[in-house]
């Protein structure tokens, strides 16, 4: 990584609520790593479209994948895209409707989607994707076929033109409203994992691997 602070550009500069902006690379990375779901915005015939997909980070690059026939990937390759990640941490109830808010963490990354074309590199990226989530799983899986690799497209872009936006804490009311007999506070929201559900077609005696149990623990 070249720097710990990302450069501010006209697209990443915050116009409002500047105090919520964060250009620290560690903050951006931590939000990207906290979830696997992102949304990629792109243009199709000059019209905007946004597609949810799974992403993963390797150093200062972010990657996403899908079908080689995907319209979203075809229109992201070599073109301007905006990849966003959002995490909702709580609802903030104030003493006026105007000051109601939400606690959240979000990242926006601008760039050009670059296709991974080398077949060995593509296989390595897919391995990294699986191993990022479930360390140790790739080697126990049936190897990917050439057709499966051909049917999969991977795009990536550097995390260079990016910014994070974060809100934490309680409501911020007008000073005179603190005297009103109205309850205010935070409703925390937490995304939790449930107990793993085995495939009913698992062979008898096949034990749940450690990486599933490790992922399922808080």
Q: Kindly list the domain boundaries of the chain, sorted by start residue.
A: 18-173
Question: Residue 130, class by beta-carbon neighbours within 10 Å (0-12 exposed, 13-18 middle, 19+ buried)?
Answer: middle
Taking CA atoms, 27 is separated from 38, 39, 44, 133, 209, in Å, by 16, 19, 32, 20, 32
Instruction: Give the pLDDT score at 45.
Output: 86
Rounded Cα gap, residues 75 and 115, in angstroms: 11
Q: 30 φ, ψ to 5°?
A: -65, -35
Q: Which CATH number fits domain 18-173: 3.90.45.10, 3.40.50.880, 3.30.230.10, 2.30.110.10?
A: 2.30.110.10
Torsion of CA 141, 34, 66, 46, to 10 degrees: 180
Q: What sign does the CA torsion over 68, 73, 75, 76 have?
A: negative
Instruction: Give the pLDDT score at 193.
Output: 85
CB 54 within 8 A of CB 126: no
Q: Is 26 helix (H, G, I), strand (E, B) or coil?
A: helix
Per-residue pLDDT of the chain (218 residues; tens, 9 = 90+): 445 888 888 888 776 666 777 778 999 999 999 999 999 999 988 899 999 999 999 999 999 999 988 888 888 888 899 999 999 999 999 999 999 999 999 999 999 999 999 999 999 999 999 999 999 999 999 999 999 999 999 999 999 999 999 999 999 999 999 999 999 999 999 988 888 999 999 999 999 999 998 876 54
Rounded Cα gap, residues 57 and 188, in angstroms: 27
Instruction: Give the pLDDT score at 1.
Output: 42
Both tokens of 174, joined, read: 């007008």
Instruction: Give the pLDDT score at 175.
Output: 97
């Amino acid at each position: 990584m070249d720097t710990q602070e990302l450069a501010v550009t006209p697209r990443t500069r915050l116009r409002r609520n500047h105090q919520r902006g964060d250009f620290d690379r560690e903050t951006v990375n931590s939000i990207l790593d906290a979830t696997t779901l992102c949304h990629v915005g792109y243009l199709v015939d000059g019209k905007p479209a946004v597609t949810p997909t799974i992403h993963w980070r390797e150093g200062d690059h972010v990657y996403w994948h899908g079908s080689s026939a995907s319209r979203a990937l075809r229109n992201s390759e070599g073109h301007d895209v905006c990849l966003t990640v959002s995490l909702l941490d709580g609802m903030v109830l104030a003493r006026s409707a105007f000051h109601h808010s939400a606690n959240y963490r979000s990242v926006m990354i601008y760039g050009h989607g670059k296709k991974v074309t080398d077949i060995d590199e593509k296989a390595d990226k897919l391995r990294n994707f699986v191993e990022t989530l479930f360390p140790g799983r790739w080697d126990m899986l049936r190897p990917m076929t050439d057709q499966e690799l051909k049917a999969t497209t991977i795009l990536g872009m550097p995390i260079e033109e990016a910014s994070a936006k974060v809100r934490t804490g309680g409501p911020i009311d007008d000073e005179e409203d603190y005297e009103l007999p109205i309850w205010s506070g935070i409703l925390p929201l937490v995304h939790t994992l449930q107990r793993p559900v085995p495939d009913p077609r698992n062979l008898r005696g096949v034990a749940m691997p450690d990486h599933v149990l490790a992922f399922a623990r808080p």
